[in-house]
Structure 1
Amino acid sequence: MQIKVGTYYSEVWKKAINNWNSKKVFRFKIVSGPAQITIIPAQSNEATLIKQNLVGVAYVDHDDTKRIISVKLHLVDTLLKKNGYTTSQRVNVAEHELGHAMGLAHNPSKQSVMYKTTRYVTIQPVDVKNVRNLYSIPASQYFINPPVTVSSTTNNALITDGAGDRLYKSPFESETVEPTKEAFW
C-alpha cells in the first residue's frame, strides 16, 4: 500500500491500517513505491464527490475473474471538515474504505464499520468475521469458468453460476476462522 497524502491524512490512514492489522485477519503493508492499493489526495472529480455527499471513496478495479487488481482510496477533506468529523471519525471512515479494499461490501447493520454511512463505528467483530469468511473461500473457486452473477439481499450475497447453481457460501454465513491473509500492496 502506498500513501500519497499529506501528514495529517497520512496519520489518519496509518491509524486505520493499524486498527485492521491488529485484528489479525488481513495485513496491510505500507511501501514507498508503486502498490496495488494507493491512498490518493484530492482528485479532479472532487466536486462530483462533494455533490454526491461522499466523504470517502474506494475505486476498486477487478480483472476478468473478478479478482481485485488495484484500489485507490480517498477521503474527501472538504466534506469531512464541513460536517465536523473528528480525527477518530475520519479514522472510522478510512477503516470503512480499507474494508472495500479487502473486498467487503456495505453491511446493513449500523453496528458495522461497513455500514454505508459509517462515522461513529470502528471495526466490529462482525467486520472481522466477514473478512475471515471472505478469505476462507478456496482459491480454486476464485477462478470459475462459467459466467458468474451476484444477487444480494439485505444481509447476504449469493454467488451462482450461469445455471443458478450455488458456487460458494456468502461471507455472512460461516463461523469458520481461517489464518491471516497478508497483502503486500
Structure 2
Amino acid sequence: MHKVTKKIVTIAALTILSLHSSLFFSLQASAATTSLLSWDLVDSTKHLEWGGSTAYQNSFNAGVNTWENYKFGIIRPDYVSTIEDVTLSDYYEVSTTAGVTSSAGTLKFNEYRMNTYSSNQKQNVATHELGHALGLGHNTSSDVMYMYVTSITTLSANDKASYDLAYKKY
C-alpha cells in the first residue's frame, strides 16, 4: 500500500529548468544536507517493487545497483506474489524534462531528452528518478539528486544521508 494520502498527484521531475522548491524541504544534519519529498513509493514492507519496461533499461538497472549497493534489498523487480509499487515507461515530449516520477506510482523517461544524453547522463537520470521514488528531494550540485542532469552516477554524502532519513520513515 502506498503512502499516498491525497488525491492530488505530486510529480517530481528532473529537468533542465528549475522546479518549485515547494515540492520538497531540506534539513541540515551532521554536515550533510538532507532533502525529502512529502511522499515515497516504498511499501509497508520497506520494498520498492518495479515493473513495466523502458528503452533505458540498462540505465535503470545501473541506477538500481547504485541505490542497492548502499542499502541492499529495497528495490526489486515486481513478481506475481508482490504488488507493483512503480511502473516504468517511456514517453516522447519536446520539453526540458528528462524524467518524471509521480506519487501515483509511475517513473517515465522522456525519449526526446534521453536520446541526446551520454551513458552517464542517462544513468544519472535513472538514479535520480529512483531517488524520488525512494522519497528523496532535490539537493546540491554535487549530488545525484541535483535538479539538473549531470554525469554524476555515485551517491554523495547528501544522497546517502537523505536516503537514511527517508528509510526511517518507511
The corresponding residue for 1:54 is 97
CA contact (8 A) 2:89 2:108 kept: yes
Q: Distance in 2 between matches of 1:25 and 1:10?
A: 19
**Secondary structure of 2:101's match?**
strand
Q: TM-score, normalised by structure 1?
A: 0.58
How many percent of aligned residue pairs carry the same amino acid? 24
Contact 1:3 / 1:39 at 8 angstroms: preserved in 2? yes
What is the rounded CA distance, in whole Å, between the counterparts of 2:131 and 2:50 in structure 1? Answer: 16
| Aligned residues of 1:3 and 1:10 also touching (Cα < 8 A) | no
- Runs of 4 or more, structure 1, over 2 Å off, are 1-6, 134-137
1:142 corresponds to: none
Aligned to 2:51: 3
Is the Cα–Cα contact under 8 Å of residues 60 and 123 in structure 2 kept in the other structure?
yes
Structure 2 SS opposite 1:14: helix
Q: Does 1:132 pair with 2:144? A: no
RMSD: 2.1
Pair 1:127–1:26, CA change in 2 (3 A): farther
Gaps of at least 5 residues in structure 2 are 1-48
Amino acid in structure 2 at the alignment position of 1:38: T
Structure 1 residues 124-182: Cα deviation after superposition (integer angstroms, max 9, x where no partner): 12101111022234x7xxxxxxxxxxxxxxxxxxxxxxxxxxxxxxxxxxxxxxxxxxx
Distance in 1 (CA, whole Å) between partners of 2:57 and 2:79 is 13
CA distance in 1, matches of 2:86, 2:60: 12
Shift of 1:98: 0.4
Find the aligned partners of 2:66 and 2:77 in 1 and give their Cα distance.
14
Larger radius of gyration: 1
